Amino acid sequence: MIVVDVSRSMRTRDVEPNRLRRAQIEINELLQSATNSRIGIILYTSRAHLLLPFTHDINAVKYYLKFIDSIPLPTYGSQASDALTLARKEIETASFDTKSTVLWLTDGDISSNSDSLQQLRTAISGLNKASIPLYILGLGSPEGDATPDNESGWLQHEGRPVISRMDETLLADLASAGKGRFIIAQNDDSDWQYLYRQGIAAGSVTLGDEISNDETIWRELYPWFLFPAIILLFICLMPYRLQPVSHPKMLVPMCLLILASLLQTNEASASEYSSEQANMAYQSYAAERFDQAANFYRQIPGFLGRFGEGNSFYRLAEYSQAITQFNQAIILANNDQQRGSAIYNLANATFMTGDYALAAALYRDSLLYRPSHEASIANLSLSLSLQQLIEDQIQQGLASRMGTGPRSARAEQGLDINNQGSMTFDNEEERKNTELPLPDIPPQELSKLLAKGLAHVRLAQNGSSSPGLIAGNKRSQWHQDITAARLRMRELEDLQILLWKRLFEMEEGFPAPLEEAEIVPGILPW
C-alpha cells in the first residue's frame, strides 16, 4: 500500500519540480519494477482517504496517480498516524496470501507535538504486530524551503514564512521501528534499488500479493461437447419410419462431417488471418510494392492490417487514406506500444499534409505512451518551429515573400533540421521495434514546408468549394473537433476531481461542499 503525504508542505520546491510532483515521478519509476504487484494508494493530510483500492492493473494505478496533486482534501495539516492505520486495515481486510508492505512517501515535516509523535509510533507498532514492514521515501531536504501559499505567495505563521524541513533522523528512526528502510529520493534509480529491489522485493515481499504476469490464452473446447449433443439431437429428430439398423449407417458419415466442420471453424477462429497472408503483405512492403502491400493488408483484420495499410498509403504519399487507417489502428491497438506507434505515424501523415499544429498535438499524444521516444521529441520540436514561423509570417504579412529574406535564413539556421528534424517512421511489420527513416529534410526544403503549411492555413480560412479546399477544411474541422474533445476530457477530469473532493468531504462528515479546507484544532495547517 502506497501512502502519500499531500499536505501543503509537500508543495515546497526544495526538490524539483516540488515535493508532491516528485512523489508522482518516483511512484511512476517504481511501477516499472513492481509490475506483478497489487498496489493501492492512500492520500492524507490531517485525515486519511483511500484513493485506490488494491489492484494489479498498473494502468489504473497510473491513471489515479495523476490526480494526487490536484484533489483538494477537506482538511489542512499532516497526520500520518491515521494514514498508516488505514493502510494496515486495508491490508488486513484484503487477506493476501503473501506478505504485504506499506510504502510511505513524505517530506518528513512531522509535528514535534508529543501526542502526534506518540500516535505515529503507535500506528507503526500496529504494523509490526500485523507483520507489515514500513518503508519510507523522503521527499525534501534538511535545509528546507518556504512553503508556497496560493493566495499570499508564502504560507505565513505568526507573521513569518513557514519553512518546511525534512527530519531525516526521525524518518530513519521510524523506518527502523517499522522493520523497513528509509532513503531520501535520488535523481537516479538508486533509491528504488535500495528500497524496492533490496528491500520490498527481497524475500518475496511485495507491495501486495504477487500475481502471474503471463497472458491467459483460452482454448475453446466446445466442439467436443457440441458433437455428442448434435448426435443425440439428430437421433431424437430421426423419422420413425426409418429402420433402427439404418441409423448407424447414416449417423456415422454425417457426424464425421459435422465434427470436421466444427474443428475447421474452431481452427479458423483461432487465427484471424493466415501467416502466409501476412508474409505476402510484408514482402510486398519490403520490396516497395506499396500498392500491392496495401491490398494484402486490407484483407488482414485488426491492428496489424490497419497499421500496415496506413504505412503503405503513407509510402504512396496518399496521406488522407493513411490518416484514416492510422486512426483505425489506434482504436484496435492491443497495448501502449502499438498505440504509441500508431499515433506517431498518424502525426507523421498529418505533418505531410501541412497541418503542423495538429501534428504537434499528435506527437505530444504519442509521447504519453513513449515518453523517451527521441524521434517524437525531435518531430514535435520541428512541427512547433514550423508552426511558429507560419504564424509569424501571417501576422507580419510576409507570406508573399516567404523563403526569400533573412527571416527564412534565420529559421533554417535555428531549426537544424539535418540533425534534429529528420523524421522517422514506425513500421511494426518488421516485427521488431525498428524505425525506417524517411528522407532527411535538408535546409533548402524549408521554404517548401512553410509553403505547404501556409497553403493549409489558407485552405482552412477560405470558404472555397474546390476539392483541395474541401480536404483542407475537413482537416481544419477535424482539428477543431479534436480540440473540443480535449476540452471535454478536461471538463470530465475536473468533474471527477470534484467528485473525489465531495466524497472525501462526506467521509470526514461535512454535510455540504467546502469552499476551502478546514483547519483541525491541534494540528498545524501544513
161: nearest Cα among 149, 170, 178 = 149
227 vs 429, higher pLDDT: 227
Lowest mean pLDDT among 138-142, 186-190, 409-413, 486-490: 409-413
> Do 3 and 42 form a contact (C-beta atoms < 8 A)?
yes
Rounded distance between C-alpha atoms, residue 89 and residue 101, angstroms? 12
Tens-place pLDDT, residues 100-149: 999 999 998 887 665 688 899 999 999 999 999 999 999 999 998 888 88
Least confident segment among 198-202, 217-221, 511-515, 517-521:
217-221
Query: What would the mean pLDDT of 208-213 be, rounded to a whole number?
Result: 40
Bridge partners, residue 149, by sequence: 153
Number of Cβ atoms within 10 Å of the Cβ of 352:
18
Which single residue is written with the C-alpha cell 509569424?
392
Do the beta carbons of residue 349 and residue 369 sit within 8 Å? no
Residue 114 phi/psi, 5° resolution?
Answer: -60, -35
Whether the predicted pLDDT of 239 surpasses 70: no
pLDDT score of 502: 82
* CATH 3.40.50.410 residue ranges for the chain: 2-204
Query: What's the pLDDT band for 56 if we cut at 50, 70, 90?
Result: confident
At CA 51, angle to CA 47 and CA 56, rounded to 5?
140
Is it the case that residue 192 has pLDDT exceeding 60?
Answer: yes
**Choices 3.40.50.410, 3.40.190.10, 1.10.3720.10, 3.40.50.300: CATH for 2-204:** 3.40.50.410
What pLDDT, on the 0 to 100 scale, is given for residue 174? 95
Q: Would you place residue 83 in the very low, low, confident or very high pLDDT band (cuts 50, 70, 90)?
A: very high
pLDDT band of residue 178 (cuts 50, 70, 90) is very high
- pTM for the model: 0.49
- Identify the band that residue 231 occupies on the pLDDT scale cut at 50, 70 and 90: confident
Residues in the chain, overall count: 526
Rounded to whole angstroms, the Cα distance separating 300 from 302 reads 7
Confidence (pLDDT) at 209 = 41
pLDDT at 98: 80
**Average of pLDDT values for 495-509?**
82
Q: Which DSSP string corresponds to 451-503?
A: HHHHHHHHHHHS---SHHHHHHHHHHHHHHHHHHHHHHHHHHHHHHHHHHHHH
What value does the mean pLDDT take over residues 36-52? Answer: 92
- Position 465 confidence tier, pLDDT thresholds 50, 70, 90: very low
Q: Dump pLDDT digits (tens) for 350-381.
A: 988 888 888 889 989 888 888 888 888 888 88
pLDDT of residue 460: 63
User: Taking 80 as the threshold, does the pLDDT of residue 439 lie above it?
Assistant: no
Whole-angstrom distance, CA of residue 260 vs CA of residue 227: 10
Confidence band for 240, pLDDT divided at 50, 70 and 90: very low
Give the integer Cα–Cα distance in Å for 129 and 473: 68
User: Which candidate, 4, 6, 10, places its Cα nearest to that of 28?
Assistant: 4
Q: What is the mean pLDDT of the chain?
A: 76
pLDDT digits (tens, 9 = 90+) for 274-311: 567 777 888 888 888 899 989 988 888 888 889 999 99
- Sign of the Cα torsion 62, 63, 64, 65 reads positive
**What is the pLDDT, as a whole number, of residue 408?**
38
